[in-house]
Amino acid sequence: MSDQSQYIKEVESYFLSLAGEGLMLSSQDYALIAELRDRNVPKEVVLRGISRAFAEQEKEGAEGQRKIRSLKQCRRFIEKSAEDFSPLQEKKMPSDEAKKPTGIIAEAAEKLGDFINDEKSPSVREYYINLRNKVLGLQSAGEENLLGCIISLESECIEEFFSGLPEDERESILQEARSSVERRGRYMTEKAFSESVISFRNEIIHNRYRVKNLYGYDPG
């Protein structure tokens, strides 16, 4: 499968895992995915936008709200995620500065430094410090897909943050996440259900502990 086909397949699969099986994407939905791909919007940014759309629907409550049945309904969240990502795109720097943090790494590290300085909670502050150290470590790793790496590190650090919580708090968060997914998870595969629980779990952590996201997510 080509990279272009894989992009469409993964976006499609993730959306349907949240919307529930029994739905099919329309030709307009596929056109939207192709447009995002051709604009070089990273797949991770698109998935984050979809996740935000469903999280927002969940936060507002199902009653009186229009359920998400089409990828087009997620567009404004995807565009917002792309807009938040845009300032962090890697910039070309002179070769004599190659050893210094540059581009997306420098931007992310600086932003995390601001989060560290402003944070009052010791556990959340430690989360930012941990993530910042890992992001800075990418400079010597020579990775090409830096955005994907940073998003993976962010997920890794959230996992570590969650693992460090008291057992009863972890169970409370997981139960809330499962309840959110079960309302639409009747037709999900086991893998899609597990991935959706983790996605909602992370949203709960961001909101409950007011953990800021590098790409513009501001816990309400």
Q: Are the beta carbons of 150 and 136 closer than 8 angstroms?
A: no
Amino acid 158: pLDDT: 93
Taking 70 as the threshold, does the pLDDT of residue 142 lie above it? Answer: no
Give mean pLDDT, residues 20-32: 84
pTM for the structure as a whole:
0.57
pLDDT in tens, 172-215: 999 998 888 877 666 677 888 888 889 889 989 999 999 998 87
